[in-house]
Structures are given as C-alpha cells and as structure tokens.
Chains A and B, each alone.
Chain A
Amino acid sequence: MADTLIAPNDKDLLKDEPVKYINELTTLNLGPTHPATHGIFQNILQMDGEKIVSGEQTIGYIHRAFEKIAERRPFYQITTLTDRMNYCSSPINNLGWNMTVEKMLGIEVPKRAQYIRVIMMELARISDHLICNGILGVDTGAFTGFLYLFEERENIYEIYEEVCGARLTTNMGRFGGMERDLSPVAQQKIRKFLKTFPAVMKEFETLFNRNRIFMDRTVDVGPLSKKMAMDYGFTGPNLRAAGIDYDVRVMNPYSSYEDFQFDIPVGENGDTYDRFMVRNEEIWQSLRIIQQAMDNLPEGPYFADAPEYYLPPKKDVYNNMEALIYHFKIVMGEIDAPVAEVYHAVEGGNGELGFYLISDGGRAPYRLHFRRPSFIYYQAFAEMCKGITLSDAIVIMSSLNVIAGELDA
C-alpha cells in the first residue's frame, strides 16, 4: 500500500515538529442507489486515493423470495416470476422455464413453436446485449450510441408486444408451445427489424470499435484469465470473452438450436473490450439465427397436442364441455405433475440460466432453484477490482452486465 498524503491540520503546522504522513484509507459506498451501478446493489470499497484496495459487495436489496413463492404457486404461474429475474431478456427466462416443465411432463413441442421460440429468445439476447453495450458506452462517456440502440430496442419490444401482448415482463409461451401463432404483423415487424437493424448496429460499431477514447478506457481493463473465469463460475459472453467457447445452445441444444448455423465468438484476454466485442458479435450471430428461423419457419401447429396442460382455444371453452373442464383445471393449477427431478439449462443473456426443479406430484414444485448466472459470477467483482481505479471498476461492472433482478431473485 502506498503512503497516502493527508493534509495536516492547522494545529499541527503550528507545532515545531515535522509533519507526519498518515496511512489512511477511505471507505466509499458505491451504491445501493448509485447511478453507475445500474441496479440496486452496494459495493463497499476501501480506497487509497483513487485506487481500490479492497471491495465487498452487499446484495439482496431487491430480493423477492421467488423460490419460496414458487413453492406455493401452480407451475404456469411461476412463469411470471421468471421474467422478473433478468428483465432485460425476459423471454429467455420464460421459455427456459416452460422448457423445464415440458421436460418434466415429457411434452414434445412442435417444430413451428420451437422456431418461434428461437426467434423470440434471440431477439431477447439482442436486446440484452444492446443494453449492456449501450450502457458501457454511457459509462465511458459516449451517450450517443446508447440512444441509437434504444430505438432498435423499442422495435424489439414492439415485436414482443405483437407476440405476447406485453413488453418488459413478457410471460411468453405456454407449456406445450406458444400462446398464439406468429401473426402476419409480427412476421412483418421481425422482417423489418432484420432489414433496418444491421445499419444501426454497423453505425454503433463504427462509433465504438476503433474509437481511441473507448479503447483507452476498456482495453486491458479488468482482464479475466481462463482459470479465474472457470473458478468463479463465469458463463455466457463474459466467459467466452476469456477464451472458453462454452455455450449451452451448442453443448446441450434445446428448442431446435441444432438446426441453425451460427458461430460462437470468443475473446482472448477477457478484458472489458473483449466482453464488448463478444457481445457485439453475438448480436450479429443472433441476427443470423433469426434470419434462418424466419426463412425456414415450418408450417404446422404452434402448440403440442397436450390438452391437459395447454389452455384450449377460447371458442372451444364456450362450446365444448371437455375443453371447459381442461380450462378450469389448468387455470386452477390442477394439472397432473409426475414425481420428478429435473435440471434444465438455457443460454440466458448472461450465461447458463438453470432451473432445478423437484416435483413431488403436487400442484406446485416441492423445490425450485434458479441458477442465476450473474449471481454466481458477480462474486468475482471484488477480486477483479483490486488495485485498479474507481473509474475502471465502474466500467468493469458495466461490462459484466450484472442485472439486479437476476442477482437477487
């Protein structure tokens, strides 16, 4: 630790002794409501001047006890809990949970529904990465890129609206498929997005990728070695920036991801710049996947033939006794669940989003645990910001894309 100069007070100056230099650290509260944390969590930093000596995170400010609530709720009502975790990419959370329950119930989802899901999940990934990279720009002093991107994010939210009726907390998908087919309007909006978005993304990349100021702020800031990334449980773009090509979509393909051609971008040093570049490239790859899914969208039903679990069409509910019974049973949460133990993982915006579900055959899960990627890798932040300046710590935190809702569940 370097000696710190502390201004001597006036009384000491009057004395006839040499001025003493005192070692003193400043405690700085970064958060809980600091604008640079982009969410409600606190970092208690021990500062030596502008350098961080040690840090400690305090989290849990928006803990909502989702796992406990889930033990009392019917399965389909838990979908609304999941989209409040990573609210930047809610459809991935929703559909991941739906797939977990489908795995438990043994429902085979038709190809068309799987493709619609892939389209929605990749749109969600794009919007998640847009927020992270846009805000990284804001934190390094460039507001413009953020505003350019948010216009496109708005378009993604309009697609969500067309598909499920909601924008942020989407509650998308049902056990067995999607709640409605991809309407012509939705298809047209997705095609329009595929046409207009690349130009905006190119412009954003031109603004940042070789920008001297941006590179000075991010290159070699917060490097992450392969070993450290694995030790600290990193997954997702942050892990891939460190050079490990682990992606759940490729290793354990779900929802027909094996049908699509896409690359997994990896970084080299795992620094902030690599994380930024990996996310940018993933946006391009997501676009590729959406394009393929739209071009090869199979015909057929958009929900599985599983009347005990999938809400019947409203017309049938009014005209058909059997459909009415199913409707009542499903809405009351009285679906038959087997005794089972399932772990299902999807590639969320931040990494491996896992659902560990234990069912005892009751109307609600016996135990449901969410493996939230940012909860697990955020513990490395204290280690990563040792010995660097405060301004770099902000940039690192921003590039890790810690989402408070996912952190606290």
Chain B
Amino acid sequence: MLTNQEVAEDLVKKYGADVFDFEDPFDLLTLSTTREQIVPMLGYLKAHASFQITFLTDITGVHYPDSPGQEFCVVYHAHSWVHNFRVRIKVFLAEADLHIPTAIPVHACANWMERETFDFFGIIFDGHPKLIRILNMEDMDYHPMRKQYPLEDGTRQDKVDALFGR
C-alpha cells in the first residue's frame, strides 16, 4: 500500500522547490507544481517503477478571480491501479499568461479533456494538435465557466447571501 508520505517525499526529492502546497483532503494527496514541470511529472509518475501512476483520470480547470497572479488552476487527477493510489496535481496560472504544455504525449486521453478545459476557461494548451472548442459552438467569443459570467440577473435581490446571515 502506497502512502501519501512516500510519494510526497519522492516528488520533493526529485523536483525540490517545484512541488509545494502539499495537502491531503479526504486522504487524497494534493500538491501543486509549476507549468514547466507538470508534463515531466506526469511522465515521471507514469514511468516510475514502483508507483505506476499510469492512468490519467481527469483534467479540469477552476477560476479564482480573487487571487491575483493565480486566477486559473488546472487540476489533474491521476490513479495507480496497482496500488489503488490517487494523486491530484494543480498548476496555477496567471490570467495574463494562460499557457500550459499539453499532456497528450504522456496520456492520449488528455486530448478532449484539454479541449474541454480550453472551451470553458480559455486555458491554452501549447502543443495540442487541435485546440478548438468541443462542447460549445465554435463562434462563441467567451469562455463560459469563468466567474465573470453569472447565470442569473445580477440585480436579483431574493438570493442575496446577507439575507441568510452569510
């Protein structure tokens, strides 16, 4: 049984200051890295002789408009079927420079997941063979999952959090 501690220590040894913000919410190892290291790290975990984190479960994006310099986050979930071990890797990006290398060379299934993330958040995956919208129509000129596009009329008063003591 692989422990979070083991994998975290190994990654710190290999990547040093490029891995940070270790957490384990609900026992799932969560860490952050830089965009330069993310694809090598996925490759390293995949090729690792004992970890064998070979399966990329999911890629998705999150928008944090209130954290300057780290407005966007790309979240990778990977899974080792040998050890039943999951890891979550985050890469924070600044809104001014939304570029991150594509993970397709390591995991072919990243293709559509990256297209989906691009479609909804506008994050550009460098080196992606066909980075076009996937679920929304192609002539859309905005990325709808960003927080600046509210779902409802902003002037609506009946759902103001203050009324409910929040």
Contacts and interface: CB of A to CB of B under 8 A. Distances in A.
Contacts of A363: 161, 164, 166
The 3 closest A-B pairs by CB, nearest first: A233-B109, A60-B135, A231-B108
Contacts of B161: 362-363
B62 A358 contact: yes
Interface stretch (A172-180, A339-347, A392-400): A339-347
B119 to A, nearest CB: 9
B100 to A, nearest CB: 17
A354 B135 CA distance: 19
B55 to A, nearest CB: 6
B151 A72 contact: yes
A375 B135 CA distance: 11
A345 B88 CA distance: 14
B144 A354 contact: no
Contact of B144 (A68, A342, A367): A68
Contacts of B58: 354, 356, 369, 371, 376
A251 interface: yes
Contact of B112 (A67, A342, A352, A375): A375
Given A68-B144, A252-B84, A356 B108 contact: no
Interface stretch (B2-10, B12-20, B25-33, B37-45): B25-33
B56 A233 contact: yes
B70 interface: no
Interface in B151-166: 151-152, 161, 164, 166
Contact of B134 (A59, A67, A341): A59
Nearest to A344: B26
Contacts of A343: 26, 28, 77, 86, 88
A230 B75 contact: no
B102 interface: no
B109 A379 contact: yes
Interface string B123-162: 0000000000111110000001100011110000000010
Interface of B: 25-26, 28, 30, 54-58, 60, 62-63, 75, 77, 81, 84, 86, 88, 107-109, 111-113, 116, 120, 133-137, 144-145, 149-152, 161, 164, 166
A63 interface: yes
A59 B135 contact: yes
A409 interface: yes
Contacts of B84: 251-252
Main SS class of interface, A: mixed
Interface in A33-85: 59-60, 63, 65, 67-69, 71-72
A103 interface: yes
Given A63-B135, A376-B109, A354 B152 contact: no
Given A354-B57, A363-B164, 6 more contacts: A72-B151, A231-B109, A363-B161, A371-B57, A376-B58, A408-B135
A363 to B, nearest CB: 7
A246 interface: yes
Interface in A266-317: none
A379 B81 CA distance: 22
B145 A232 contact: no
A408 B137 CA distance: 12
Contacts of B150: 72
Nearest to B119: A60
A266 to B, nearest CB: 13
A251 B166 CA distance: 40
Contacts of A367: 62-63
A328 to B, nearest CB: 11
Contacts of A67: 120, 145
A221 interface: no
B41 to A, nearest CB: 18
Contacts of B151: 68-69, 71-72
Contact of B164 (A334, A342, A366, A408): A334
A232 B108 contact: yes
Contacts of B135: 59-60, 63, 408-409
Contacts of B120: 67
Contact of B145 (A68, A341, A362, A375): A68
B30 A341 contact: yes
A65 B144 contact: yes
